[in-house]
């Protein structure tokens, strides 16, 4: 057999790759006949081609509008890929300005016998609806889709919101075989682009400058973002247009995994942020290009000066509430609970005070901005060093580069004895200094005033502690009897309150009894369930057949229902970091009275397991003292963020915990 | 006419007055209504005025005191509307615990959004809803609405106790029928309650006072089975402009057939030809039906668009043929049209779908149901088809539509029949496992599992998952097994027999735990699925198991080299009226190695039992749970 030279083979490969024609409608027989994706065998669908082209159009009546043309060709391999045959485009409106989806053209391609058939989308298969006051949606679903079909569609999104270019997604949860994107921006708009540094995919972006000419024939003065005064009947305007283009083949799908903070944090995308506008005959208007700039813009546009200095509406009530209090910490704590009791959160996000402190104070409800700026104003009024802290919630992603969209939330902070304590009064169950999970997202920006701002770590540093103690007695007939004392502190207390704060004790007993064998719980008492830094609970219980009696020997797994019985990490591999909610310490202590007539035959061995040089520690210690056995299991996880490389050791660490918790104590008749 | 006006005005005035003068402070609620209540329905007045058979006005005043955050869902301050149903008035007033007014919402303060459900592509239904943040609990919302609609085929029923943990202080319902249009009504579960009523030729009036909240209990039957409910239907009605007359299921079905179904079955010649070709060699009707169902599954998908009357009638069969999609009505009608073309009789069947069984009311003909399936009355048996699924086997309903009353819409009229019930003898899951142990506690296992009946429907989708997800499924499903690694995952999806077989080989660690020089072996390699029940000393409601099952398992353990059995748990056999449980272990020898074999059978019957028997059922479940912890002791040497 003759050898084919590698170069020839390469040429051959290139030519087949190029054989695909991505012009609209030129779907090939090969594409429709393909049975599996060549690289990702398991996927239900793949994007064969995706093109996004964004540019500005000018006309006299409406000035600039922003146009985005989208063209996608998608292969459906099987029935589970049918969801990709329905497309929904969200667009926005604000008063009378709205984005429009136009020029929808779509077809399904499939084989009938050995003939390639195209089925076109009808107008009556397109649905437009007003989802909410600000959001519109255009949906269409493709006709005649079967396994193997290739669908293709294109549409234009025409937007009057010219200072805001939508994010361009460069990665989906299915593969993208070929992607092309371009953005062309007139020199009047100074945009800067950002890619996602947390995505391992690299996109080469080519930049260029071209010339554009526009002949204006209108005599009216255009409105909105336009090129300034055009008084003449006709004029000719030259301007530069900056273009960005990128393309890439074989973009792998984004994997879905548990314990990820927010999947989109890891997707490849292009984001656009307006930095300045520079219209003819007008000075450059700088917007944002640094975090200082972003902060300043928010400070100014968000009316922070006003919100933070307005005090009259609460002054009298607050004076009364703080009467006689001089200790700064006590003052701050009182103000925090006062703010929480006065205004409840209406579930709306935002760093802006939507209604304003004075109004929400009266109404009793407000958005995040309203509440936490009001809290900051109160703290300042009381003479404390308090500042707002801008941040991005978990599902808004991590603020990676200076953009206004990088933030969507604001909290408050107070400095006491050189320590900055973060406060969020929107969360009923957060104690002083605790943030709700949505706000614990890497770093925030503390804003001292219009000019001064700085980064601040939002992740909890102090461990939260859970401690469970059981005192066990072994009764006749394999029954166990005992008392349980539990203490929840820090964010464990918050979690507890989020779940059980208003539950009646009867129902709570039912929850405690669930999945704990045939346990019967009585004498339940709780303390600090509603307020305070920790929650204490205690109960008595009986657990029939909680111990095995085999041939006169007693086998007891001492941690009973407190044992870690499953490894939370099950997957073989990991692609993204593992993120825990907060640093934690979990203590489980069991005291056992050896019944008369029995002695210890064997005990599980004590052990200490380290995770990543002290990032985590597991101690399991068992000691006998006369008739008493004491078992202590201590799990201390200092780190909350682990890299995919740490995954194996984390999984092993948990496996050892599960194993140790499953070991039995053996007692024999003496 | 003047009389009518007078009555309405009078009633409305009364309504307004009551809504305002009633003391809404929480202290006015009697203690027995606070017990177990997350919310208290203080006052609830529904007034329906039937102006004509195609015109009615609905007035609602609903005052709810919300005791805590869980009670929020009982406020129900929202109003659906569409091109037919117009909102004339909408308002809400908030009162604090002392009954003092603290806030008012006008119609423009209500939020407005599309009512598209998660399964819909599009619908013209919209909803206006109150978006209120509670400042503290308890507080009271008084919600008022007035709507007008031309669709009279649906008349709001009266169900004052609409949920658990909701107590009712006062609820009333009136239906004004000045034109004396013939109507039917049905009073359900009225026996237990003191309901006052006033019925005249032009008026229905009902009132219920002081019903304490029901507490949710494990396995309690659906609320509808024991709380009072009044259903009303007009004999002359309209549905989005289509008028009708019916007073029983026969007539109602006939009306649906003639107005909503008939004439929507035409198919293009090419498709008819294709179907004839595909079925020409099939020998029986059932074979042909199977081929047609497969054709539908391969060429359509479920897409729901609900627009005007389109929400109630199927798309044309030829449109489904061209577009390749439709909702349950459209796909069922399409399948029916294809069957018709081969002279196979089938019926469009309207059903309440959902895992929780709900029947169409045999005794009360009205617009009911939320889904459509297809019935083929063959000589051997009734075949049922779920036409919205691309993967379900022929003649398999599963727990979505099994064992319940449905309405067959036939040319000659409607008929209520029951869908297939899956008996415990048909809902079978069997495993056979060989487990080879070594002395470190590691093992290899070969498992074969068979699922039929309802269990089939819960498992067969696994075959379509990616390898990664299949592995994750087993790791979660058998979460009690540590560090397992898979050598083989093989499936046989036998769609003809509706049987799914899994053949899995895997290895794992720590199946035995050490206790000195002995090893403890958990003999229940897989545990049985039992109910995790709450102990209840004061059970109020009966309990129901909707579907019975049979589970059979055999675990054959091969002991490590040089190990022998020291002890095995004794044989157990439990027989109750709820089911049976048997487990038997045997120590033996096979191929020169010591073995322990466990045979287990667990049968759970379906049924409904009175509250008094709950503790007995609880004991049965508990006994099984504790047997799940059984261990054998094996020892080295000897």
Q: For residue A520, give the nearest of B102, B391, B535 by CB distance.
A: B535
Task: List, in sequence order, every residue forming a beta bridge with B41; answer none if it has no partner.
Answer: B64, B168
Average pLDDT, chain A: 88
Q: How far, in Å, CA of A301 to CA of A448, rounded?
A: 16
Task: List, in sequence order, every residue forming a beta bridge with B514; answer none if it has no partner.
Answer: B519
Quick one: pLDDT at residue A408?
A: 93
Quick one: pLDDT at residue B18?
A: 46
Residue A62: which pLDDT band, with cuts at 50, 70 and 90? confident
Mean pLDDT of B311-337: 95
- Whether residue A14 lies inside any domain: the answer is no
Q: For residue A570, give the nearest of B298, B472, B510 by CB distance.
A: B472
Quick one: pLDDT at residue B13?
A: 37
Mapping DSSP to helix (H, G, I), strand (E, B) and coil, where does residue B350 land? strand
Quick one: pLDDT at residue A285?
A: 74
The answer to whether residue A218 scores a pLDDT higher than 80 is no
For tokens 């944002």, name the residue. A288
End-to-end Cα spacing for chain A: 82
Quick one: pLDDT at residue A545?
A: 80
The answer to whether residue A662 scores a pLDDT higher than 90 is no
Residue B638: which pLDDT band, with cuts at 50, 70 and 90? low
Least Cα separation, residue A288 to chain B (angstroms): 34
Q: CA–CA distance from A154 to each of A24, A58, B94 (Å)?
A: 8, 22, 49
The answer to whether residue B270 scores a pLDDT higher than 50 is yes
Which residues are CB-contacts of B286 (< 8 A; sequence separation ≥ 6)? Answer: B378, B380, B383
Strands of A254-333, DSSP E: 269-277, 285-286
Helix (H) or strand (E) holding B542: none
Residue A158 and residue A243 share a domain: yes
Mean pLDDT of B375-386: 93
Give the percent of chain A with pLDDT over 70.
93
Chain-chain contact of B515 with A571 (C-beta, under 8 angstroms): no
pLDDT tens per residue across span B121-142: 888 889 999 999 998 899 999 9
Q: For residue A602, give the nearest of B116, B516, B534 by CB distance.
A: B516
Which range of residues forms the domain containing residue A514? 466-669
The answer to whether A93 contacts chain B (CB < 8 Å) is no
Quick one: pLDDT at residue A10?
A: 44
Residue A361 and residue A472 share a domain: no
Quick one: pLDDT at residue B326?
A: 94
The answer to whether residue A3 scores a pLDDT higher than 60 is no
The answer to whether residue A259 scores a pLDDT higher than 80 is no
- Whether residue A7 lies inside any domain: the answer is no
Mean pLDDT of A268-283: 84
Q: For residue B122, give the nearest of A139, A144, A570 by CB distance.
A: A139
Least Cα separation, residue A537 to chain B (angstroms): 20
Q: How far, in Å, CA of B39 to CA of B73, rounded?
A: 9
The answer to whether residue B7 scores a pLDDT higher than 50 is no
Residues of A within 8 A of B111 (CB-CB) are: 132-133
For tokens 């005992």, name the residue. A482
Mean pLDDT of B458-474: 93
Chain-chain contact of B479 with A566 (C-beta, under 8 angstroms): yes
Residues of B within 8 A of A79 (CB-CB) are: 301, 390-391, 464
Quick one: pLDDT at residue A406?
A: 83
Chain-chain contact of B299 with A545 (C-beta, under 8 angstroms): no
Residue A230 and residue A358 share a domain: no
Quick one: pLDDT at residue A531?
A: 75
Range with the poorest average pLDDT among A573-587, B389-403, B572-586? A573-587
pLDDT tens per residue across span B155-214: 999 999 999 999 999 999 999 999 999 999 999 999 988 899 999 999 999 999 999 999
Q: Which of A264, A282, A300 marks a domain boundary?
A: A282
The answer to whether residue A15 scores a pLDDT higher than 50 is no
The answer to whether residue A103 scores a pLDDT higher than 60 is yes
The answer to whether A607 contacts chain B (CB < 8 Å) is no
| ipTM exceeding the 0.90 mark | no
Range with the poorest average pLDDT among A262-271, A480-489, B203-212? A262-271
Look up the CATH number of the domain holding residue A191.
2.60.40.3140
Residue A433 and residue A311 share a domain: yes
Of all residues in chain A, the one with the smallest CA distance to B218 is A510
Q: Which of A412, A429, A457 marks a domain boundary?
A: A457
Q: How far, in Å, CA of A77 to CA of A84, rounded?
A: 11
pLDDT tens per residue across span A321-376: 999 999 999 999 999 999 999 999 999 999 999 999 999 999 999 999 999 999 99
- Whether residue A430 lies inside any domain: the answer is yes
Give the count of alpha carbons within 13 A of A129, CB side only: 21
- Whether residue A93 lies inside any domain: the answer is yes
Q: For residue A551, give the nearest of B298, B471, B566 by CB distance.
A: B566
Chain-chain contact of B114 with A550 (C-beta, under 8 angstroms): no
Q: Which of B527, B600, B594, B534 lies closest to B566 in space, CA to CA?
A: B594
Quick one: pLDDT at residue B350?
A: 97
Quick one: pLDDT at residue B14?
A: 40
**Computed from CA positions of residues A558, A561, A564, A566, in that sequence, does the dihedral angle turn out positive or negative?**
positive
Quick one: pLDDT at residue A233?
A: 59
Mean pLDDT of B6-24: 48
pLDDT tens per residue across span A148-207: 999 999 999 999 999 889 999 999 999 999 999 999 999 999 998 888 888 889 999 999
Quick one: pLDDT at residue A14?
A: 43
Mapping DSSP to helix (H, G, I), strand (E, B) and coil, where does residue A248 land? strand
Q: What is the helix, strand, coil percentage profile of chain B, to 5?
A: 25, 40, 35
pLDDT tens per residue across span B585-626: 999 999 889 999 999 999 999 999 999 999 999 999 989 988
Q: For residue A144, give the nearest of B70, B322, B468 by CB distance.
A: B322
- Beta strand A150-159 pairing with A235-251: unpaired
Residue A348 and residue A254 share a domain: no
Task: List, in sequence order, every residue forming a beta bridge with A239; answer none if it has no partner.
Answer: A212
Give the percent of chain B with pLDDT over 70.
96
Residue A313 and residue A276 share a domain: no
Radius of gyration for the alpha carbons in chain B, expressed in angstroms and rounded: 30
Chain-chain contact of A548 with B631 (C-beta, under 8 angstroms): yes
Q: In this structure, are residues A332 and A349 in contact, taking their beta carbons and an 8 Å threshold? A: no
Chain-chain contact of B114 with A664 (C-beta, under 8 angstroms): no
**Alpha carbon B156 to its chain's center:** 21
Q: In this structure, are residues A339 and A425 in contact, taking their beta carbons and an 8 Å threshold? A: yes
Residues of A within 8 A of B116 (CB-CB) are: 129, 131
Residue A646 and residue A513 share a domain: yes
pLDDT tens per residue across span A612-650: 888 999 999 999 999 999 999 999 999 998 988 999 999
Residues of A within 8 A of B103 (CB-CB) are: 363
Range with the poorest average pLDDT among B291-295, B458-462, B626-630? B626-630
Number of domains in chain A: 3
Residue A630 and residue A561 share a domain: yes
Q: How far, in Å, CA of B500 to CA of B450, rounded?
A: 6
Mean pLDDT of A469-490: 92
Of all residues in chain B, the one with the smallest CA distance to A604 is B515
Quick one: pLDDT at residue B307?
A: 81
Which of A79, A344, A506 to substitute to test the interface with B, most B CBs within 10 Å? A79
- Whether residue A342 lies inside any domain: the answer is yes
Q: Which of A255, A282, A309 marks a domain boundary?
A: A282
Write out the DSSP string of A58-117.
Answer: EETTTEEEEEEEEEEEEEE-SGGGGGGGEEEEEEEEETTEE-EEEEEEEEEEEEETTEEE
Residue A577 and residue A431 share a domain: no
Chain-chain contact of B629 with A365 (C-beta, under 8 angstroms): no
Residues of A within 8 A of B122 (CB-CB) are: 127, 129, 139
- Whether residue A248 lies inside any domain: the answer is yes
Residue A633 and residue A528 share a domain: yes
Quick one: pLDDT at residue A553?
A: 85
Residue A71 and residue A192 share a domain: yes
Chain-chain contact of A86 with B514 (C-beta, under 8 angstroms): no
Least Cα separation, residue B277 to chain A (angstroms): 14
Give the percent of chain B with pLDDT over 90.
81
Residues of A within 8 A of B303 (CB-CB) are: 86, 141
The CA angle A663-B631-A607, to the nearest 5 degrees, is: 5
Residues of B within 8 A of A80 (CB-CB) are: 464
Residues in chain B: 638
Quick one: pLDDT at residue A222?
A: 44
Look up the CATH number of the domain holding residue A354.
3.10.620.30
The answer to whether residue B115 scores a pLDDT higher than 70 is yes
Mean pLDDT of A567-588: 90
- Whether residue A17 lies inside any domain: the answer is no
Query: Domains in chain B, ordered, with CATH?
Result: 2-234 (2.60.40.3140), 246-418 (3.10.620.30), 428-636 (2.60.120.1130)
- Whether residue A3 lies inside any domain: the answer is no
Residue A452 and residue A488 share a domain: no
Q: How far, in Å, CA of A239 to CA of A226, rounded?
A: 13
The answer to whether residue B461 scores a pLDDT higher than 90 is yes
């Amino acid at each position: 057999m003759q050898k084919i030279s590698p170069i020839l083979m390469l040429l051959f490969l290139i030519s087949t790759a190029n054989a695909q024609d991505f012009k609209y409608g030129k779907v090939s027989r090969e594409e429709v006949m393909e049975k599996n994706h060549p690289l990702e065998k398991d996927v239900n669908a793949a994007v064969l081609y995706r093109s996004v082209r964004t540019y500005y159009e000018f006309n006299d009546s409406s000035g600039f509008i922003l146009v985005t043309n989208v063209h996608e060709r998608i292969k459906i391999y099987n029935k589970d890929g049918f969801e990709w045959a329905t497309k929904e485009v969200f667009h926005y409106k604000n008063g009378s300005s709205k984005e429009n989806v136009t020029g929808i053209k779509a077809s399904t391609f499939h084989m009938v016998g050995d003939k390639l058939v195209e089925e076109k989308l009808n107008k009556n298969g397109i649905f437009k609806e007003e989802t909410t006051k600000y959001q519109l949606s255009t949906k269409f679903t493709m006709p005649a889709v079967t396994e193997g079909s290739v669908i293709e569609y294109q549409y234009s999104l025409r937007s009057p919101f010219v200072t805001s270019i939508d994010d361009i997604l460069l990665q989906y949860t299915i593969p993208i075989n070929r992607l092309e994107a371009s953005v062309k921006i007139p020199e009047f708009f100074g945009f800067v682009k950002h890619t996602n540094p947390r995505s391992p995919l690299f996109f080469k972006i080519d930049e260029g400058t071209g010339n554009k000419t526009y002949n204006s024939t209108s005599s009216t003065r255009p409105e909105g973002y336009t090129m300034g005064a055009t008084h003449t009947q006709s004029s000719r305007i030259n301007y530069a247009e900056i273009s960005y283009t990128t393309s890439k083949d074989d973009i792998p799908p984004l994997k879905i995994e548990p314990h990820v903070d927010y999947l989109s944090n890891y997707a490849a995308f292009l984001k656009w942020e307006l930095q300045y506008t520079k219209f003819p005959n007008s000075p450059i208007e700088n917007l944002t290009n640094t975090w200082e700039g972003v902060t300043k813009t928010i400070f100014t546009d968000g009316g922070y000066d006003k919100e933070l200095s307005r005090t009259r509406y609460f002054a009298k009530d607050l004076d009364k509430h703080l009467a006689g209090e001089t200790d700064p910490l006590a003052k701050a704590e009182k103000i925090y609970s006062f703010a929480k009791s006065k205004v409840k959160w209406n579930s709306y996000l935002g760093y802006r005070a939507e209604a304003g402190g004075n109004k929400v104070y009266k109404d009793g409800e407000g958005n995040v901005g309203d509440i936490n700026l009001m809290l900051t104003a109160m703290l300042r009024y009381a003479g404390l060093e308090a500042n707002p802290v801008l941040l991005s919630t978990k599902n808004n992603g991590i603020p990676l580069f200076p953009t206004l969209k990088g933030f969507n939330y604001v909290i408050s902070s107070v400095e006491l004895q050189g320590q900055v304590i973060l406060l969020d009064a929107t969360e009923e169950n957060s104690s002083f200094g605790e943030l709700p999970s949505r706000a614990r997202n890497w770093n925030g920006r503390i804003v001292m005033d219009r000019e001064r701002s700085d980064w601040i770590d939002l992740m909890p540093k102090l461990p939260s502690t859970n401690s469970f103690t059981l005192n066990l007695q072994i009764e006749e007939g394999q029954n166990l009897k005992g008392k349980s004392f539990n203490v929840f502190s820090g964010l464990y207390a918050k979690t507890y309150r989020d779940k059980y704060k208003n539950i009646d004790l009867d129902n709570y007993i039912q929850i405690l009894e669930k999945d704990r064998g045939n346990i019967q719980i009585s004498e339940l008492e709780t303390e600090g369930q509603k307020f305070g830094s920790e929650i204490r609970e205690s109960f008595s219980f009986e657990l029939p057949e909680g111990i095995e009696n085999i041939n006169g020997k007693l086998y007891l797994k001492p941690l009973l229902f407190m044992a870690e019985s499953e490894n939370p990490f099950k997957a073989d591999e990991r692609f993204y970091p593992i993120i825990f909610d907060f640093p934690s310490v979990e203590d489980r202590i069991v005291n056992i009275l050896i019944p008369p007539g029995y002695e210890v035959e064997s005990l599980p061995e004590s052990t200490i397991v380290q995770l990543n040089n002290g990032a985590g520690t597991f101690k399991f210690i068992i000691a006998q003292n006369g008739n008493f056995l004491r078992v202590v299991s201590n799990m201390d996880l200092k780190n909350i963020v682990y890299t995919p490389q740490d995954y194996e050791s984390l999984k092993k660490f948990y496996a050892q915990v599960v194993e140790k918790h499953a070991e039995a104590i053996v007692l024999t008749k003496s | 006419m003047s009389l009518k006006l007078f009555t309405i005005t009078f009633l409305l005035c009364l309504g307004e007055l009551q809504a305002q003068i009633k003391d809404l402070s929480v202290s006015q609620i009697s203690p027995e209504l606070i017990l177990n209540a997350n919310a208290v329905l203080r006052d609830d007045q529904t007034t329906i005025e039937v102006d004509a058979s195609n015109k009615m006005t609905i007035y609602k005043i609903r005052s709810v005191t919300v005791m805590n955050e869980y009670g929020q869902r009982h406020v129900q301050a929202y109003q659906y509307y569409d091109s037919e149903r117009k909102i004339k008035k909408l308002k809400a007033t908030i009162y604090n615990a002392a009954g003092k007014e603290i806030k008012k919402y006008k119609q423009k303060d209500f939020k407005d959004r599309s009512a598209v459900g998660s399964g819909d592509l599009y619908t013209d239904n919209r909803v206006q809803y109150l978006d209120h943040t509670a400042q503290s609990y308890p507080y009271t919302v008084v919600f008022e609405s007035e709507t007008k609609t031309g669709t009279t085929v649906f008349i709001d029923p009266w169900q004052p106790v609409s949920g658990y943990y909701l107590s009712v202080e006062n609820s009333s319902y009136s239906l004004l029928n000045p034109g004396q249009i013939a109507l039917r009504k049905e009073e359900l579960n009225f026996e237990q309650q003191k309901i006052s009523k006033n019925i005249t030729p032009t008026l229905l009036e009902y009132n219920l006072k002081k019903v304490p909240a029901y507490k949710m209990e494990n396995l309690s039957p659906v609320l509808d089975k024991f709380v009072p409910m009044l259903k009303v239907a007009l004999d002359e009605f309209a549905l989005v402009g289509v008028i009708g007359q019916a007073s029983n299921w026969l007539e109602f079905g006939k009306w649906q057939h003639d107005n909503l179904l008939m004439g929507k079955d035409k198919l293009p010649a090419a498709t008819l030809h294709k179907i004839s070709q595909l079925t020409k060699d099939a020998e029986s009707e059932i074979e042909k039906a199977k081929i047609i169902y497969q054709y539908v599954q391969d060429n359509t998908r479920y897409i729901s668009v609900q627009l005007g009357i389109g929400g109630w009638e199927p798309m044309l069969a030829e449109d489904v043929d061209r577009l390749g999609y439709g909702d349950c009505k459209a796909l069922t009608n399409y399948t029916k049209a294809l069957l018709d073309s081969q002279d196979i009789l089938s019926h469009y069947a309207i059903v309440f779908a959902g895992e929780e069984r709900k029947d169409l009311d045999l005794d009360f003909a009205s617009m009911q149901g939320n889904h459509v399936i297809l019935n083929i009355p063959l000589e051997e048996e009734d075949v049922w088809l779920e036409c919205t699924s691309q993967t379900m086997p022929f003649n398999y309903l599963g727990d979505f539509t099994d064992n319940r009353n449905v309405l067959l819409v036939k040319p000659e009229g409607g008929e209520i029949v029951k869908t297939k019930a899956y008996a415990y003898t048909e809902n079978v899951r069997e495993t056979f496992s060989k487990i080879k142990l070594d002395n470190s506690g590691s093992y290899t296992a070969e498992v074969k599992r068979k699922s039929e009946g309802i269990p089939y429907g819960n498992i067969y989708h696994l075959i379509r998952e990616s390898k990664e997800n299949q592995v994750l499924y087993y790791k979660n499903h058998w979460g009690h097994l540590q560090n397992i690694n898979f050598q083989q995952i093989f499936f046989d999806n036998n769609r003809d027999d509706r049987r799914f077989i899994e053949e899995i080989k895997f290895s794992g660690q720590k199946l035995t735990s050490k206790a000195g020089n002995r090893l403890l072996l958990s003999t229940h390699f897989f545990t049985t699925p039992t109910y995790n029940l709450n102990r209840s000393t004061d059970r109020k409601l009966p309990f129901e198991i909707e579907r019975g099952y049979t589970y059979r398992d055999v675990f054959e353990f091969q002991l490590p080299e040089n190990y022998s059995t020291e002890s095995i748990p004794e044989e157990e056999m439990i027989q109750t009226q709820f089911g049976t449980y048997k487990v038997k272990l045997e120590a033996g020898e096979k191929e020169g190695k010591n073995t322990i074999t466990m045979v287990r059978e667990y049968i759970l019957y379906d049924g409904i039992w009175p509250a008094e028997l709950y503790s007995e059922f609880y004991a049965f479940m508990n006994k099984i749970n504790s047997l799940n912890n059984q261990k054998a002791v094996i020892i080295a040497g000897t």
